[in-house]
Structure 1
Amino acid sequence: MTLFTGSGVAIVTPFTNSMEVNYPKLKELLEFHIENETDAIIVNGTTGESATMTDEESLEVIKFTIEVINNRIPVIAGTGSNDTKHAVEFSAAVEKLGVDGLLVVTPYYNKGNENGIYNHYKSIAEAVSCPIILYNVPSRTGVNLSIPLLEKLSKLDNIIAIKEASGNISYAAEIARIIPSLTIYSGNDDMVIPLLSIGAKGVISVSANIIPEITHKMVISFLNGDLNKGMRLQLDYNDLVNSLFIETNPIPIKNAMNFLGYNVGPCRLPLGEMFEENEKTLHTILNKHGVDKWI
């Protein structure tokens, strides 16, 4: 089973200046992605600042997103936690909202052992019936999911995919070789084409917040056999992609969106404003690419 093929946007959560969720702006963003060929919405993830949202806020944002999208493209919600009980309860609550799938990050900070991590995911998988995408991002969690552990997890019926953000192409290739049943999505915007070349089905993208059509075309062109076009789009926009990670995500993408007129508001603390030199670099690259302003 494949939840989506192409570009899934890891969508930002827009805030007002008083740090409340800006629902009218969120609706605009969602419609923007429908109009610009985004293939799936990933809500309440790292880019959506889930770490600073209450459960009540997260549930309301997910519910709102599902209602606005109204089955036009898949909606996948982040429900991971370093507390298994909380992840189980929250995942079950999100499933009841009608989400198409869950994105569940590796338990972070605790640095669980393999038995613990397996049982963490097993508990979540048994509590829901919707598809689950594992999220491997050791730079944030401090844990890399081993190939034997992934192989074991892939045998659970509703664990169907992995968002792979280790940055290790050899590791990703081993997943593709040993566990072909596990759909791979790139979790790094600068490595989309390399992962597609070993069988990945798409990307869960930060840069798609501002270049949705380009990200979609890069993936679909490559998958449809136009390898040169896909490769060219990856290489042509990698400086922009890299500038969006010049500081901790989602600080630069929100800065970029505000610079372009999207008016998505600030990040919640502890994510602060960009350093002036980094902001200048980001804006220079945005201007160089002529990225369209918000319409």
Structure 2
Amino acid sequence: MDFGRLVTAMITPFDENLNVDWAQFEKVMDYLIDDQQSDSLVICGTTGESPTLTEEEKLQSFKAAVTHARGRAKIIAGTGSYDTAHSIHLSKEAEKLGVDALLLVAPYYNRPTQEGLYQHFKAIAESVSIPVILYNVPGRTSVNIDAQTTIRLSQIPNIVATKDCAGTDQLTQIVSGAASGFRVYTGDDSMTLPALSVGAYGVVSVASHVIGKEMKNMINCYLQGNVQEAAKLHGQLLPIFSGLFFRPNPAPVKYALNLRGVSVGGVRLPLVDVTEQEGQFIASLFA
């Protein structure tokens, strides 16, 4: 299954009471697919504030996304957690709702060994029949899925890709050693072009909420052999890549979307909205 080069980890829009705004959920999907050229959407990932969404909200989000996408973009459900049994439960429910694939984050806080990581992902993957994408983000989970563990997991038939934020050295090792057809995505917007240069397939992005078209253009320039133009575009986009993460995600990108007239509301505690001064900085990124 092809998830495309530009995958957006979609925010979850809230109303003024911080309830999920279901009407706006569909509008954000349309905006990301039609305007920002997202090939696939991750629903209820960290950018979607999965830690503060209830299971009911997650399942309703998966259902709403599948129904509204109508095949225009692949729907990838964030169903991973630090509890293997619950991850299996949520993954099975997501599969029933018709999602195209699962995104499974490395277990956070309990920090399993590499063998524990392997067995965790293997157990979840074997509980479903749809494709599975690993998600390695050591800066958030305090555990790294080592390259060799990812390579080992790539031998499991329905583990088809990874979103890895551990840097180009690890990406290079995975690209070189993984099973045929296994695809590597960077999860760091600023690493999109460097990752492509070492053989990654694409990016699972946050910045694509607001500069998706520009990112797709940069990716296409690189793929067409126009490396100099791609590098120029990378340089132009780099301040936005960095600026959207100067405060915990997704508060900055939600502010940027609201600024553009795409109403997505605020963030749930323990996250807090950006201040007025911080908002002025975000606005300056697009001036």
Q: TM-score normalised by the shorter chain: which range applies?
A: over 0.9
Alpha-carbon distance, 1:5 to partner: 2.3
* 8 A Cα contact 1:3 1:101, kept in partner: no
Map of 2:263 onto structure 1: 263
Q: Are 1:170 and 2:197 counterparts?
A: no
Inter-partner Cα distance in structure 2 for 1:151 and 1:202: 18
Map of 1:12 onto structure 2: 11
Aligned residue identity for 1:92: K
Alpha-carbon distance, 1:180 to partner: 5.4
Q: Which stretch has the larger CA shift, 2-11 or 99-108?
A: 2-11
Inter-partner Cα distance in structure 2 for 1:112 and 1:204: 24
Inter-partner Cα distance in structure 2 for 1:41 and 1:142: 25
Map of 1:154 onto structure 2: 154
Map of 1:183 onto structure 2: 183
* 8 A Cα contact 2:218 2:234, kept in partner: yes
Aligned residue identity for 1:61: S
User: Equivalent residues in 2 for 1:124-273 (5 A)?
Assistant: 124-166=124-166, 168-179=167-178, 181=180, 182-273=182-273
Instruction: Give secondary structure in 2 for the equivalent of 1:3.
Output: coil
* 8 A Cα contact 2:151 2:179, kept in partner: no
Instruction: Give secondary structure in 1 for the equivalent of 2:286.
Output: helix
Map of 1:63 onto structure 2: 63
* 8 A Cα contact 1:243 1:282, kept in partner: yes
Alpha-carbon distance, 1:92 to partner: 0.7
Alpha-carbon distance, 1:206 to partner: 0.3
Inter-partner Cα distance in structure 1 for 2:149 and 2:204: 22
Instruction: Give secondary structure in 2 for the equivalent of 1:210.
Output: helix
Aligned residue identity for 1:171: Q
Deviations 1:167-201 (A, max 9, x none): x2111111112225331111000010111111111
Map of 1:284 onto structure 2: 284
* 8 A Cα contact 2:154 2:179, kept in partner: no
User: Equivalent residues in 2 for 1:102-117 (5 A)?
Assistant: 102-117=102-117
Instruction: Give secondary structure in 2 for the equivalent of 1:279.
Output: helix
* 8 A Cα contact 1:4 1:40, kept in partner: yes
Inter-partner Cα distance in structure 2 for 1:6 and 1:146: 23
Aligned residue identity for 2:102: L
User: What root-mean-square deviation, in Å, do the aligned CA atoms of Structure 1 and Structure 2 show?
Assistant: 1.3
Alpha-carbon distance, 1:210 to partner: 1.1
Deviations 1:112-164 (A, max 9, x none): 11221111111101101111110000000000111221121111111111101
Inter-partner Cα distance in structure 1 for 2:83 and 2:278: 35
Deviations 1:67-114 (A, max 9, x none): 000111211111111000000010011011111111100000000112
Q: Are 1:35 and 2:24 counterparts?
A: no
Alpha-carbon distance, 1:276 to partner: 4.1
Instruction: Give secondary structure in 2 for the equivalent of 1:91.
Output: helix
Aligned residue identity for 1:95: E
Structure 1: state its 5+ residue gaps: 288-295
Question: Quick one: structure 1 residues 180 and 236, their matched pair in 2 at CA, closer, same or farther if it must change by over 3 Å?
Answer: farther
Aligned residue identity for 1:174: Q
Q: Which stretch has the larger CA shift, 58-67 or 114-123?
A: 114-123
* 8 A Cα contact 1:6 1:220, kept in partner: no
Map of 1:45 onto structure 2: 45
Identity percentage of aligned residues: 37
Instruction: Give secondary structure in 2 for the equivalent of 1:21.
Output: coil
Inter-partner Cα distance in structure 2 for 1:62 and 1:277: 35
TM (norm. structure 2) is: 0.96
Deviations 1:184-240 (A, max 9, x none): 111000010111111111111101111221122222221232222322222111101
TM (norm. structure 1) is: 0.93
Map of 2:84 onto structure 1: 84
Inter-partner Cα distance in structure 1 for 2:5 and 2:149: 27
Q: Which stretch has the larger CA shift, 271-280 or 44-53?
A: 271-280
How many pairs were matched up?
285
Structure 2: state its 5+ residue gaps: none
Aligned residue identity for 1:31: D
Q: Which stretch has the larger CA shift, 24-33 or 86-95?
A: 24-33
Instruction: Give secondary structure in 2 for the equivalent of 1:211.
Output: helix
Inter-partner Cα distance in structure 2 for 1:89 and 1:200: 31
